[in-house]
A = this chain, B = another copy of it.
Amino acid sequence: MADPQIPPPTRPPTIRDVAERAGVATSTVSRALSNPDRVNPVTRRKIELVAAELNYVPSSQARGLSSGRTQVVALLVPDVTNPFFFDIIRGTQYELRAAGYTQLLVDTEESPEMEEDALHKMQRSADGYILAASRLTDAQLAEASAHHAIVTINRASANAPTVVIDTPSAIVQALEHLASLGHTNICFVGGPASSWSNAMRWKAFEDETRVRGLATSRVGPFAPKLTSGAAAADAAVHTGATACIVFNDLLAIGMLQRLRERGMRVPDDMSIIGCDDIFGADFCNPPLTTIASPIEQAARVAVSMLLSQLNPLQGGTKRRLAVMPTHLTVRGSTGPSPRQL
């Protein structure tokens, strides 16, 4: 027998097992594994070998407890079933993993309370937080970012680094598009009252329509769900508008369904423009004209901003704000105003 027997793998090996087998102290093992330069290459090599042999996996619990770092980043989203957040989830997941972090996904169910509560409860279990479309008030957000490393997505804040998707500027494009099709009476279909994006989108809409002297109306707020589309569609039709800019694609697709039910043709009787270009926007019927957003990329940027906050050493660019460009993607849900005919 060349090798001493490896003890039976009854319970997962600890750092001590590795230390004993390698004939060094646990501190050396610890350093060899997480601070390689601190130990002699020969020793390190040996330790790595033994660790591999024993199939050693450090306990993140213990590591976190003693070091204070958990290597976990929490992602808080208002609604995991909203496809908009799928791309966020995917983007952060990918980047975090690449950086050696684990993602903790939390659904705050569109509730500021749950969001705050989650933030509070997890204070010890996460190193940082990504707040997607946070529903927190400015005050809550300020308070939170005083205590935690936070990056927000689509929710500006003076206190936390932010990545915003610049949908408002494309709303100008969208209105240009509608105007060129002859629409003069346009309705804004609003999303959740507590949504910062919604406020921004509305503002851009309002400003631009005023400049252009278009007749406008606003309906809402509606929950950003497919099922809210029915009420939204009915309300929008009632305003007499010939075109709608809708808070997001989910709602817009819901409207599409309802309009069809009511026998209204899109875009012949009504044009619809959504926001975000989520999964489904391209294959719904008709395909949705929408404001395309680099959602996944935004998520990645958010991660990198957070990481540079967590590890200031590596001197990543310390941006406080990233603005992601957007553009109008014209598909089948917009067409000439029926008034023109």
Known: A103-B105, A105-B105, A120-B57. A279 touches B125 (CB 8 A): no
Which of A26-34, A61-69, A174-182, A267-275 faces chain B?
A61-69
Q: A243 contacts the other chain (Cβ, under 8 Å)? A: no
Across the interface, do A89 and B80 meet the contact criterion of CB distance under 8 Å? yes
Q: Which of A253, A283, A284, A285 has the most B CB atoms < 10 Å from its CB?
A: A283
Q: Which positions 64-116 of chain A face chain B at CB distance < 8 Å?
A: 64-65, 70, 80-81, 83, 86-87, 89-90, 93-94, 102-105, 107
Question: Cβ of A94: which chain B residues have Cβ within 8 Å of it?
Answer: 107
Q: A12 contacts the other chain (Cβ, under 8 Å)? A: yes
Q: A238 contacts the other chain (Cβ, under 8 Å)? A: no
Partner of A64, one of B61, B83, B105: B61
A81 to B83, CA, bound (A): 9
A103 to B61, CA, bound (A): 16
Question: Cβ of A239: which chain B residues have Cβ within 8 Å of it?
Answer: none
Across the interface, do B59 and A65 meet the contact criterion of CB distance under 8 Å? yes
Determine how close the nearest CB of chain B comes to the CB of A61; give it in whole angstroms.
4
Known: A65-B65, A103-B105. A121 touches B89 (CB 8 A): no
Across the interface, do B253 and A283 meet the contact criterion of CB distance under 8 Å? yes
Q: How many copies altogether?
A: 2
Across the interface, do A107 and B81 meet the contact criterion of CB distance under 8 Å? no
Q: A280 contacts the other chain (Cβ, under 8 Å)? A: yes
Determine how close the nearest CB of chain B comes to the CB of A331; give it in whole angstroms.
12
Partner of A121, one of B57, B107, B125, B283: B57
Determine how close the nearest CB of chain B comes to the CB of A229; give it in whole angstroms.
10
Determine how close the nearest CB of chain B comes to the CB of A103; give it in whole angstroms.
6
Q: A257 contacts the other chain (Cβ, under 8 Å)? A: yes
Question: Cβ of A93: which chain B residues have Cβ within 8 Å of it?
Answer: 80, 105, 107
Q: A203 contacts the other chain (Cβ, under 8 Å)? A: no
Known: A65-B65, A80-B86, A81-B86. A124 touches B280 (CB 8 A): no
Partner of A124, one of B59, B282, B287: B59
Question: Cβ of A282: which chain B residues have Cβ within 8 Å of it?
Answer: 257
A123 to B60, CA, bound (A): 10
Question: Cβ of A62: which chain B residues have Cβ within 8 Å of it?
Answer: 61, 65
Q: A233 contacts the other chain (Cβ, under 8 Å)? A: no
Q: In this complex, what residue of B is CB-closest to A121? A: B57
A60 to B124, CA, bound (A): 7
Partner of A12, one of B83, B123, B285, B286: B123
Known: A65-B62, A279-B83. A57 touches B124 (CB 8 A): yes
The chain A residues found within 8 Å of chain B, CB to CB, are 12, 55, 57, 59-62, 64-65, 70, 80-81, 83, 86-87, 89-90, 93-94, 102-105, 107, 120-121, 123-125, 226, 253, 256-257, 279-280, 282-287
- Further pairs besides A61-B61, A103-B105: 13, Cβ < 8 Å: A12-B123, A57-B120, A61-B64, A86-B86, A89-B105, A93-B107, A102-B104, A103-B104, A253-B283, A279-B279, A279-B280, A280-B283, A283-B284
| Sample (17) of A-B pairs whose CB atoms are under 8 Å apart | A12-B123, A12-B124, A55-B120, A57-B120, A57-B121, A57-B124, A65-B65, A81-B86, A83-B86, A86-B86, A93-B107, A102-B125, A103-B104, A104-B104, A257-B282, A279-B280, A280-B283
